[in-house]
Amino acid sequence: MKYLQHTKQTKIYKMSENFRLDKGGLINRNKKISFKFNGKKYFGYEGDTLASALLANGVHLVGRSFKYHRPRGFFGAGVDEPYAIVQMNRNNEVDPNVRATEQELFEGLEAKSVNCWPNVNFDIGAINNFLNIFFPAGFYYKTFMWPKSFWYKIYEPIIRKAAGFGAASIKHDKERYEHKYEYCDLLIAGTGPSGLASAYAAAKNGAKVILAEDKSRYGGSLLTSEVTIGNQSGKEWAEQIISELKSMPNVIVKNRSQVFGYYDHNMLVMSERVSDHLPKTDKYTPKQRLWYIRAEQVIISSGSIERPLVFGNNDAPGVMLSSAAKEYLKIYGVLVGKNPIVFTNNDSGYETAIEFKKNGVDPIILDTRKDANSEIIKEAKELNINIKFSYVVVAAKGYKKVNSADIAKISDDKKVISNIENIKCDCICVSGFWTPTIHLASQSGSKTKFNEEIDAFVPSISKQKETTLGSANGVFTLEETLKTSFEKGSELSKQITNKENKISIPTVVEKKSSKHDKFWCVPLPEGKNYKRFLDFQNDVAVSDIQLALREGYRSIEHVKRYTTLGMATDQGKTSNLNGLQLVSEVENKVVPQVGHTTFRPPYTPVSIGAIVGREVGKHSKPTRKSPMHHWHEKNNAVFVDAGVWLRPRYYKRGNENLFEASKREAKNVRQNVGVCDVTTLGKIDIKGPDSAEFLNRVYTNAWLKLPVGKARYGVMLREDGIVMDDGTTTRISDNHYHMTTTTAQAANVLSHLEYYLQLVWPELNVNVVSSTEQWAGAAIAGPKSREVLQKLFPDLNVSNEGLPFMGYMEGNLFGVNAKIFRISFSGELAYEVNVESDNGNYMWEKIIEIGKEFNIQPYGTEALSTLRIEMGHVAGSELDGRTIPYDNSLEGLVSKKKDFIGKRSLSKTAYIAPDRQKIVGVVPIDKKTSIPEGSYLVKDAKAKLPNPKLGHVSASCWSVEYDNPFSLAILKDGKNMIGKKLFAMSPLKNKVIPVEIVSSHYVDPKGERVRS
């Protein structure tokens, strides 16, 4: 093996930093920026990415690979980057999984490497590289199978620790993320030539256009290619089109915005990095914004990504895509090396080589083709660039950075390599031709087809309203791209706006390319077993795929999952096609037979914060407050969430705790009088001549004969016989009813009623509307409630005869119209007064003021529960979607005479079983130990597990009537269990409590108080 001298460097350039050219690029050289990487300070310029700035400083080692912890550098210059994933520290927040190639530089930026410990230069995990024989494809499945007991305590924690790139913060993310909804005629993803041309044509036709670019600069390939459009350079043309589009009112132009998902009915989602490129997010500026865009038509102009060539150690830092090398040079003025090898199977590599040469660097081109001729190759030859045809890189040499390469001649049939020699180099720029970015098209449901000409899949038949243009569609000449894009943009927008503004398509000057070589994977030299990587992020090598196929994996989807090919955060942007080519080669198939794996959103990783948006913490749902909320606050109410409502749980006096306060409040209701805010109850206004008939079908009991001015308690079922809700409904006038529902079920009940009125019995002339917000309600309960009521309405006869139990009347509460219902949830003599919401607080203050002499106290939901539990009144914890009327001892309300919703289900065998579950009361035998809600009732506390469950405790309280704990339970054969002794078991609270079963009506079983 001889060393080939390839180091004659003409030092005509000076570098301000190590690898930065003196001029050129699109960066702002007047603004120097300092930043830190792995704790070390560097400088870059405004307009740099973290990647370009590091490369300018000669930093190539930025991370460690996933499995083997091999040193990793930069491979690309954009979203396709598989290696350079860093952890950002910004605004006192950490941001993992950031691609250095996309992160723009700002003053004070701090980032560090991931997947290495203790640091990127000396990484303990790299031992995996030397143990790689133990990490073949599917090693997780093979290695950690035995002994089984090791999984939870040993294998899983270690794997979890080793897995993933970077670490998410466990702190609350203080950054602001926003959501935005937008409609447009045309959404265009990508601002390369096809995006710009189609957007321009569509905008001129008056269409509402959204044009999105994932990078900070517009123009795509026009920024780096040597072409002329009209009389401008590609870059100038792009700038002019963009500025014109920006000035048009019907166009939204967005940079730093990645359209990452294509969903049903032309809904696309785009993530805009609003402040990621700035040192700090302003208080009211979001860090990122998620756009939900509904587009009439979509144009996908997402371009293409260069394919790697596969050879030994092709993952070493310094091996990168030739297009990336060109981009670093042309956009950032950065040389990725001063002694480059360009290894290519097509003309694109030549463009990169020419750029190197023009900037004073002598590249060597290894072209896998036997010979090729084109304008580009001719130019390279004229520049005296060293071109070796039928040559390949066999292996890169150098651990943390490429320092040389073994190159060799390859036979015409590409099977045999010979004349291996080692040449010095500091980077290897590879080009294996181009892969159209068809992710969005595929997500939209488009069929794809394999294009033999370019060895890649392109979109074919659309399912949704989308069109893919330019190199994303496999069109690699600018002339054709511009022509089709102008035409398509005009055609699609014309269909929407009916306007047509003729645009003359500019003439294009570009260099013609010769045909690429289908060759992509260099054979191993005899006796060498270099790792040849396909998937750079997940460390999947050629040998892993071969092993998977040997082990019998056939479907590409299975091969993918077994080897993890294409499963990393880069989703195989650079690896998928080479993987497919390998599988088809080994299997002796053609690529389209193998097919490709499914492309799924998101195209690039999306922050969880952006997905959640502003709906975090208490903003995750609306908060509803009653009109009396302010009064509760002023009077030391402690609130509890009841659905979306905030309700007072208890009113704290002095040092009282929940238990003491709720006991005091409940006792006061039993002895004197209390007042409770019941505004949250669902209320539905029902009007129409068929209202009685409708209620008769909805409720289980009879409703036809309810007189005006009377309320009735009702239970409604679902069609399967399960209790849906309960409440009282009052006949206000002949054709007008006021229905109440539980707080939680209000919305469902309204939908339920609307369903039957609109779909099942449209012949019924009834209208329903929610009136929950229209009324503020106060329940006045206790033996002294009539006296309070009388004082509130001195003109009304509210005696037991004047306003009997379940009676209703209207009154005037000190100038305010009020509805008075004599109904009771507490089991005491009680009334509910409703006034219009605006008057709620006025009513409440009047009740408190007038009730003072009767020792009135407000009571919260905790006391409310206590009162209803010891009365045996069922609520949500019993009506839990699993119980029928019988279970709740509501069978007396089930009419035998008429039909109603769900009645037919009540005759089901299980529902009429003689030992059917039923509600009972439960009292601890020691009369001291409270029974945790959710406890199981069992016969024998010491029985072997699983101990047969007889029932469960649905609600518990401290009975203020008897001063001991009392619970309700749904118990099997509850009817015959009264007096029996059982055990309440709560493994969660580690309690076993001996209990006695009693009647669920613990207090006032005859219901005399409500009628008193």
Q: Which amino acid is located at 637 in the chain?
A: A
Binding mask 424-453 for another protein (x = CB under 8 A): ---------------------x--------
Stretch that binds another protein, among 104-112, 171-179, 417-425, 755-763 (CB under 8 A): 755-763
* Structure token pair of residue 851: 């009730």
End-to-end C-alpha distance for the chain, whole angstroms: 111
Nearest Cα residue to 307 out of 450, 524, 470, 456:
456
Instruction: Report CA torsion sign: 947, 948, 950, 955.
Output: positive
Question: 365 near 386, Cβ under 8 Å?
Answer: yes
With the CA atoms of 417, 422, 424 and 425 taken in that order, what torsion angle do they form, in degrees rounded to the nearest 10? 20
| Interface with another protein (CB under 8 A), residue from 133, 704, 759, 945 | 759
Contacts for 298 with CB less than 8 Å, ≥ 6 apart: 186, 187, 188, 189, 262, 266, 268, 440, 444, 464, 465, 466, 467
* Least spacing, CB of residue 180 vs another protein, in Å: 13
Beta bridge partners of 440: none
Contacts for 913 with CB less than 8 Å, ≥ 6 apart: none
Beta bridge partners of 468: 300
| Interface with another protein (CB under 8 A), residue from 124, 760, 912, 941 | 760
Quick one: 264 or 795, whose CB is closer to another protein? Answer: 264
Assess 280 for contact with another protein (CB under 8 A): no
Contacts for 323 with CB less than 8 Å, ≥ 6 apart: 76, 77, 224, 306, 348, 352, 431
Backbone angles phi, psi at 730, to 5 degrees: -120, 135
Stretch that binds another protein, among 71-79, 252-260, 262-270, 602-610 (CB under 8 A): 262-270
Phi-psi region of 242 (alpha: psi -120 to 50; beta: other; left: phi over 0): alpha
| Interface size with another protein, residues (CB under 8 A) | 25
CA atoms within 13 A on the CB side of 596: 25
Within 5-44, the residues that bind another protein by CB under 8 A are none
Stretch that binds another protein, among 304-312, 706-714, 749-757, 865-873 (CB under 8 A): 749-757
Q: How far apart are CA 73 and CA 403, in angstroms?
A: 14
Quick one: 138 or 643, whose CB is closer to another protein? Answer: 643
Quick one: 278 or 764, whose CB is closer to another protein? Answer: 764
Query: Cis omega (within 30 of 0) on the bond before 118?
Result: yes
Assess 755 for contact with another protein (CB under 8 A): yes
* Structure token pair of residue 659: 């238990």
With the CA atoms of 631, 632, 633 and 634 taken in that order, what torsion angle do they form, in degrees rounded to the nearest 10? 50
* Least spacing, CB of residue 767 vs another protein, in Å: 11
Provide the 8-state DSSP code for 823: -
How would DSSP label each residue in 801-818?
Answer: TTS-TTBEEEEEETTEEE
Helix ranges, 106-220 (H):
127-130, 139-143, 150, 156-162, 193-204
Stretch that binds another protein, among 363-371, 757-765, 771-779, 973-981 (CB under 8 A): 757-765
| Interface with another protein (CB under 8 A), residue from 762, 881, 892, 946 | 762
Assess 754 for contact with another protein (CB under 8 A): yes
Quick one: 444 or 490, whose CB is closer to another protein? Answer: 444
* Least spacing, CB of residue 758 vs another protein, in Å: 4
Quick one: 477 or 905, whose CB is closer to another protein? Answer: 905
Assess 619 for contact with another protein (CB under 8 A): no
Binding mask 293-312 for another protein (x = CB under 8 A): -x------------------
Question: 235 near 249, Cβ under 8 Å?
Answer: no
Nearest Cα residue to 271 out of 294, 255, 284:
255
Q: Which amino acid is located at 526 in the chain?
A: E
Quick one: 630 or 908, whose CB is closer to another protein? Answer: 908
* Least spacing, CB of residue 182 vs another protein, in Å: 12
Quick one: 126 or 267, whose CB is closer to another protein? Answer: 267
| Interface with another protein (CB under 8 A), residue from 546, 905, 930, 964 | 905
Within 658-717, the residues that bind another protein by CB under 8 A are 697
Q: How far apart are CA 115 and CA 522, in angstroms?
A: 29
| Interface with another protein (CB under 8 A), residue from 453, 720, 915, 940 | 720
* Least spacing, CB of residue 909 vs another protein, in Å: 9
* Least spacing, CB of residue 109 vs another protein, in Å: 36
Assess 783 for contact with another protein (CB under 8 A): no
Quick one: 126 or 747, whose CB is closer to another protein? Answer: 747
Stretch that binds another protein, among 201-209, 259-267, 534-542, 849-857 (CB under 8 A): 259-267
Nearest 5°: the CA angle 30, 34, 35 is 140
| Interface with another protein (CB under 8 A), residue from 904, 927, 939, 989 | 904
Q: How far apart are CA 422 and CA 397, in angstroms?
A: 9
Stretch that binds another protein, among 258-266, 310-318, 493-501, 802-810 (CB under 8 A): 258-266
| Interface with another protein (CB under 8 A), residue from 641, 719, 845, 940 | 719
Stretch that binds another protein, among 99-107, 156-164, 246-254, 751-759 (CB under 8 A): 751-759
Distances (CA, A) of 584 to 452, 518, 581, 594: 14, 13, 5, 6
* Least spacing, CB of residue 437 vs another protein, in Å: 24
| Interface with another protein (CB under 8 A), residue from 43, 117, 144, 263 | 263
Assess 620 for contact with another protein (CB under 8 A): no
| Interface with another protein (CB under 8 A), residue from 266, 679, 730, 834 | 266
Assess 267 for contact with another protein (CB under 8 A): yes
Quick one: 142 or 447, whose CB is closer to another protein? Answer: 447
Quick one: 464 or 574, whose CB is closer to another protein? Answer: 464
Q: How far apart are CA 1012 and CA 90, in angstroms?
A: 69
Within 145-204, the residues that bind another protein by CB under 8 A are 181
Q: Which residues bind another protein (CB under 8 A)?
A: 181, 263-267, 292, 294, 445, 463, 697, 719-720, 747, 751, 754-755, 758-760, 762, 898-899, 904-905
